[in-house]
Structure 1
Amino acid sequence: MANARNKRSLTIARHRTSVSLEEPFWDALAELARDQGKSIAGLVGEIDQERTERGDGTSLSAALRLYVLARMKEARKRETS
């Protein structure tokens, strides 16, 4: 299935959690983490902390998708500038 979600378990903020995302989002997170010199769990932990501080009720999986989308938009802006 093209839109099948893949669940992965990560340790963030010293606790285990499972996150379901479509494979293209996992791939993008891996690339972004690599570009920043971080592990996927480290990057997800940072995104989770920001999400928690905002307190807007966004789920972790939604926050990860929004993060990837925002980084893609930033990259596109840089390319067209």
Structure 2
Amino acid sequence: MTEAPPPPGPPVKRSVTIAGHETSIALEPLFWTALERAAVELGLPLNAVIARIDADRLGQSPPANLASAIRQWLFARALDN
């Protein structure tokens, strides 16, 4: 049975460590849940997944902000499945 997604809500800010630096990211609960599930599926810590997304976004010109890059990564991942 598939677990129901979290109800819509305002962004939730969390602190994460990327390349040894702490940063805050604000995402809606739905996106945090999807990101946590992706990390489990990939067998990686959440910070490692976020670090990969961050590295990818910095290679683009101009780079999106990190929260937007995470949402876009999750959307692209959903399209691929």
TM score, norm. by length of structure 2: 0.87
Matching residue within 24, 29, 44 for 1:18: 24
Query: 2:42 and 2:8 mapped to 1: Cα distance?
Result: 28
Query: 1:46 and 1:70 mapped to 2: Cα distance?
Result: 14
Residues 33-72 of structure 1 aligned to structure 2 (within 5 Å): 33-72=39-78
Task: Give the 3-state SS of the residue equivalent to 1:66 in structure 2.
Answer: helix
Task: Give the 3-state SS of the residue equivalent to 2:34 in structure 1.
Answer: helix
Task: Give the 3-state SS of the residue equivalent to 2:17 in structure 1.
Answer: strand
Query: 1:53, CA displacement in angstroms?
Result: 1.5
1:78 corresponds to:
none
Query: 1:25 and 1:51 mapped to 2: Cα distance?
Result: 17
User: What is the aligned-residue identity percentage?
Assistant: 33
Gaps of 5+ in 2: 1-6
TM score, norm. by length of structure 1: 0.87
Gaps of 5+ in 1: 76-81
Task: Give the 3-state SS of the residue equivalent to 2:63 in structure 1.
Answer: coil
Task: Give the 3-state SS of the residue equivalent to 2:72 in structure 1.
Answer: helix
1:8 corresponds to:
14
Q: Deviations over 1:17-76 (max 9, x none)?
A: 00000000000000001000001110000000111112323000000000000010111x
